[in-house]
Amino acid sequence: MNVLLATYWPLPYTGGLWTFITEFRRGLKKKGINVDILSCSPDHSMYYLHDSPFSIRKTDILPLLVEKLNDGGLLLNDPSVSHAELNQYVFEISAAYFGLCQYDLIHAQDPIAARALARVKPAAVPLMTSLHGSLSSEIFYKIKSLYPAFSEQEIYKYPLYRYYRMVEIEGCSQSQIVHTSSAWLYQKTLSNLTGIHSNVFHIPYGFNDKNFAGRTFSFKKIPAKPADKKILFFSGRLVYLKGVHILLQALKHLKKFRSDWECWIAGDGEQREELEALAATLGISSNIRFLGSITNMSHYLKQSDIFIFPSLQDNQPFSIIEAQFSGLPVIVSDAAGLPEMVVPEENGLIFRSGDHEDLCYLILRLLEDSYLLNKCKKNAVKHAQLQWDSKKMINQLTLLYSRLIAEKELK
């Protein structure tokens, strides 16, 4: 069987999509399934088939599209929507260039790719889509961060928000099967597709901790853990959506009660300077280390005591799964798919999303209650092994492949 895993986004990338694809491809290959990966290149200049000589530069496609669409007056009087729509055409034309009839099945990894591939694939080739997050929710928080005064209703009416919501619905409704990893996204997808689509499946992510432990890409020096301090750890993009500003507010309160801690913040993003300035304003700079992007995550996690994930919206972040496999108690917000990942008082704690005082209280609880801290540490790996079973995920997803292939053959 020849399968194409395809995404509109750049890969390799330090985010969860690459973790999923790497693990999933390994599992598929073990089952004798041939896998190609189509994505944008990390420098955004081209689309390419990984581990092959095949690529196409965006500059080979864009000039003609811009000329034909802009001068033809077909693009709309909204720069952001026009830009997004134009880039979708570049992706679909690139996919067509590589030739999609060579595949038995196409597995899109985001709704933009799904919508695009549905337009250019041969009708007989089935399309399955895995949703790794909620595109429209991400755009919601992006708009919120740029225009804090906007009410929810104003954002819901914003053209770019409505555009991505339509792309989500269109991408899913064009797919024969839609897969989500969290129950939250499963429910959200079902409600988006009411009356259109019934083939939505909830299969949690799987993770291979053996591959993770051995995955060291760089020898970047790890800061020494101060002997008398606990390390609180966050890893993720430094963007508004991830709620790092809430973590910093919580840590300001925490400092009033205890100073035997440091917080290490791994990751980079457009909000980094703003967050560094916020830490200074809050008077906690000496307790915070902004580490930038790191690749040897397991080494940092081994030095840490508590993993904190304050996101305003997230599906099922691999950074939390990695922390659990590293034996760390996890504190997450109750937003979106996050509370599904933690059993409160057993392997971590859950705070009210956006409530920095609640977060501060839970960090204090873990720091002051050594019985609870040790219990959560002890349970973390056990829970992770049960919850994030790689073999189970691969088996369940390949069963869906078999179903699509069987349906194709019946036709």
Residues that bind another protein (CB under 8 A): 56, 60-61, 63-65, 67-69, 71-72, 74-81, 83-85, 89, 93, 96-97, 99-101, 119-123, 139, 142-143, 146, 157-160, 162-163, 166, 170, 270
Minimum gap (Å) between residue 102 Cβ and another protein: 10
Minimum gap (Å) between residue 173 Cβ and another protein: 11
Minimum gap (Å) between residue 22 Cβ and another protein: 27
Question: Which residue's CB is nearer to another protein, number 74 or number 280?
Answer: 74
Q: How many residues does the chain have?
A: 411
Question: Which residue's CB is nearer to another protein, number 106 or number 360?
Answer: 106
The conformation of residue 286, written as its DSSP 8-state character, comes to G
Q: How many CA atoms lie within 13 A of 411 on its CB side?
A: 10
Question: Which residue's CB is nearer to another protein, number 61 or number 185?
Answer: 61
Minimum gap (Å) between residue 244 Cβ and another protein: 18
How many angstroms separate the CA atoms of 138 and 142, rounded?
6
Burial of 397 (0-12, 13-18, 19+ CB in 10 A): buried
Which residues does 370 contact at the CB level (< 8 Å), separation at least 6? none
As given in the structure block, the two tokens for residue 174 are: 């064009």
* Contact indicator for 274, 306 with CB cutoff of 8 Å: no
**Residue 167 identity:** V
* Contact indicator for 219, 287 with CB cutoff of 8 Å: no
Question: Which residue's CB is nearer to another protein, number 59 or number 216?
Answer: 59
| Look-up of token digits 């080739």 | 125
Across the chain, how many H-helices and E-strands are there? 16, 14
State residue 297 phi and psi, 5-degree precision: -55, -40
Question: Which residue's CB is nearer to another protein, number 10 or number 344?
Answer: 10
Minimum gap (Å) between residue 94 Cβ and another protein: 9
Minimum gap (Å) between residue 400 Cβ and another protein: 24
Question: Which residue's CB is nearer to another protein, number 145 or number 398?
Answer: 145
